[in-house]
Amino acid sequence: MMRQWHLAHGRHIDLGLRSVVMGILNVTPNSFSDGGLYATLDEAVAQARQMIAQGAAIIDVGGESTGPMATPVSAAEEQKRVLPVIEALASLQGALLSVDTYREETARLAVAAGAHIVNDVWGLQREPGIARVAADTGAGLVIMHTGREREKLADPVEDQFLFLRRSLEIAREAGIDHAQIVLDPGFGFAKETPEDNLDLMVRFEELHALGFPLMAGTSRKRFIGAITGREAPHRDAGTAATSVILRLKGAQLFRVHDVAINMDALAVADAMLARQSRLAALSGH
């Protein structure tokens, strides 16, 4: 099913027939697999340009590591890291930009600087005022599930419904249009064991009951390392495998570190899905 994801500054993305890849650009010293690699403005812009050339539709700029052991930074430090990068990238022709933040102030400043999307790993529940930013600006909004700092339900999908329905209620109360929202089940965020993440993959299709496009954010996560035996910088082939599996289960967007390998893997998955649809149409099913 085709649908449009409405973004800030009058932009949109068509979702449905082809996978959409969001390239991760961490401008942090301590992110788990690429901390410090893109700490200067020139390094960050060069990496963004490369990801766009490889096929990324969106660049997701983050200024604070969200790893479970990471030390939080101040809003001022986060803004010092991300805003110059967003301002520089906003001049690139056709680039769509996302800011990875849970802070209302950072989100508002980032959209003013040129960001089109707000990606909130706390699902509007850390700083609910961030919902007003999306409502006021028309920004696309990624609402992610997390199990951190709260009691979770034993059933992983029921916990998704519990958390995300509360997030969607916050969005509704703020006046955010449905067409602005994408949901992310938050692989690795308080899904402590490989089995927790695999169970979420197995049952991923159940999340379509929420009625919104779904993003998969498995890139280089620890559960992939547990399966493959590889350290974080060497988990891109494993990531691509999860991307294909989740594409076949209906995910439409993919947040990844290595754009090229995931673009290739998803091109095969998209071609298979297109052929499957064509054969079904020819057979009348």
Residues marked active site are found at 221, 255
Contacts of 101 (CB under 8 A, 6+ apart): 62, 63, 64, 78, 82, 107, 110, 118, 119, 120, 130
The C-alpha atoms of residue 56 and residue 54 are separated, in whole angstroms, by 6
Distance of CA 187 to CAs 140, 191, 192, 215, Å? 20, 7, 10, 10
User: Under a CB-based contact definition with an 8 Å cutoff, are residues 143 and 185 in contact?
Assistant: no
How many angstroms separate the Cα of 46 from the Cα of each of 49, 59, 147, 246?
Answer: 5, 12, 34, 29
Q: At what angle do helices 156-174 and 194-202 cross, to 10 degrees?
A: 70
- Rounded to whole angstroms, the Cα distance separating 249 from 108 reads 34
Our measurement of the distance from residue 172's CA atom to the centroid of its chain's CA atoms, rounded to an integer in Å, reads 21
Residue with tokens 């990624």: 142
